[in-house]
Amino acid sequence: MSYPIERVELRHLRMRLRSPFKTSFGVEDDREALAIRVWSDGVQGWGECPVAAFPGYSYETVGTAWHVLEAFFLPAVLGRAFEGAAELRLAMDHYKGHPLARAGLELALWDIIGRATGQSLRSLLGGTRERVPVGVSIGIQSDPAALVRAAGEYLAQGYRRIKVKIMPGRDLDDVRAVRQAFPEVALQVDANSAYTLDDAPRLRALDGLALLLIEQPLAEDDLIDHARLQAELRTPLCLDESILSARHARQALDLHACGIINIKPARVGGLSEAVAVHDLCRERGTAVWCGGMLETGIGRAANLALASLPGFTLPGDISASDRYYARDIAAPTFRLNPDSTIDVPTGPGLGVEVDLTELERVTVRKAEFVAG
Ligand code: NPQ
Ligand code: MG
């Protein structure tokens, strides 16, 4: 079976977040992202590029993703037919970088294959679980007391794993306050690259707070200093931004730069590379979990399918839809079960339907592309 790429629609979306999300790289009031719709032989597939308005998490933005898709990735695939994700990736292989942009296009093809064959994304990827454990990621608050209040509200909603964003000056006091208020909670922190090796003494103080992991304390391109830092800490380091491929994952593990890896399908350029990182880590006995990029229902459905693979042994940053959005663009939305899990969709492809009226309401720019 081969799937023709006949027509592609790009949409720049702007969705108001229920509350601003502050990290060490900045604050977002709105989620900006690209939605991709692909037409193939009577079937439509959806993808999402979880880019942002500014290059804070990574160098990619709505503008760069739109540009590389329009100028390079779409011309490379339009008018051609693909048997699967591996072949689609090959068509873009001579272009460098821009994983979030290419991941959105690959996701649309996975959705098409699932819908055309009546298979869920979970079964296409080899997922085994019907529901997956999840946690919540809390942005930097005004002060430690506000953070404790926010954590308490999420715990009351049923989340059993809390991740706290940290940055220099907003770390020890914040995390200590949460640990004191909730002595037993599964707790981890994420610095989004805000520290250097000179901060090792400060980071070592986190060692006493019984954290599950410390996520990406140092720069994205700094595996060697992560290895140096890991040697000084008991708490496992977890890499996020540093891992853009299975090759990076292997090198990070060889260097002992981390003990745990956060897998985001968009960050590694698509679901097929995400499965490759999962398989490598499973072989090596390294725990992985599924990260989050404040996805809409499209990307959230994909993350759930991925997190149903057997190596995802730690709770994912895949919160319920209402953690971020008052209204989502896809239905059904995802709800938290009382045991801090979310059900993995079972319908064909992504297993969600895009609400075209709501999608139109949050679209700030759109364009269509055909072969030619
Ligand atoms: C992380 N996510 O694990 C990311 C960071 C992040 C849930 O903590 C727009 C684009 C907004 C990318 C917000 C969580 C984002 C973004 C946060 C990435 O590091
Ligand atoms: Mg992270």
Q: Which residue from 293, 318, 324 has its CB within 8 A of the most atoms of ligand 1, so it is best to mutate?
A: 293
pLDDT tens-digit profile of 185-204? Answer: 999 999 999 999 999 999 99
Confidence of residue 354 (pLDDT cuts 50, 70, 90): very high
In sequence order, the β-bridge partners of residue 262 are 289
pLDDT at 123: 98
CB of residue 137 inside a 6 A radius of ligand 1: yes
264 CA closest ligand 1 atom index: 3
Query: What ligand has the least distance to the C-alpha of 293?
Result: 1
Residue 157 has pLDDT above 80, yes or no: yes
The verdict on whether 366 is a catalytic residue reads no
Integer Cα distance of 276 and 272 in angstroms: 6
> What values do phi and psi take at 26, rounded to 5?
145, -175
- From the CA of 24, which ligand is nearest? 1
pLDDT score, position 372: 77
Ligand 2 (ion): residues with CB under 5 Å are: 190, 215, 240
Rounded percentage of the chain residues whose pLDDT exceeds 90 = 99
pLDDT surpassing 80 at residue 303: yes
Tens of pLDDT, residue by residue over 1-60, are: 899 999 999 999 999 999 999 999 999 999 999 999 999 999 999 999 999 999 999 999
312 ligand 1 Cβ < 6 A: no
What would the mean pLDDT of 148-155 be, rounded to a whole number?
Answer: 98
- Our answer to whether residue 163 is catalytic in this structure is no
Instruction: Output the CA 294–ligand 1 centroid distance in Å.
Output: 6
**Torsion sign across C-alpha atoms 129, 259, 249, 48:** positive
Cβ contact 287:313 at 8 Å: yes
Q: Which DSSP string corresponds to 25-44? A: TEEEEEEEEEEEEEEETTEE
User: Within 13 A of 79's CA, how many CA atoms are on the CB side?
Assistant: 6
CA–CA dist 79, 181 (Å, integer): 58
pLDDT at position 355 over 80:
yes
214: which residues sit within 8 A by CB, 6+ positions away?
188, 189, 191, 203, 206, 233, 235, 236, 237, 238
The predicted structure's pLDDT at residue 230: 98
What is the rounded distance in angstroms from the CA atom of residue 350 to the CA atom of residue 110? 8
Which of 314, 303, 315, 317 shows the shortest CA–CA distance to 345? 303
pLDDT of residue 181: 98
Q: Which amino acid is at 179?
A: R
Strand 3-4 relative to strand 7-23: parallel, antiparallel, unpaired?
Answer: unpaired
């048997």: which residue's tokens? Answer: 83
pLDDT band at 276 (very low <50, low <70, confident <90, very high): very high
**212-255 tens-digit pLDDT:** 999 999 999 999 999 999 999 999 999 999 999 999 999 999 99
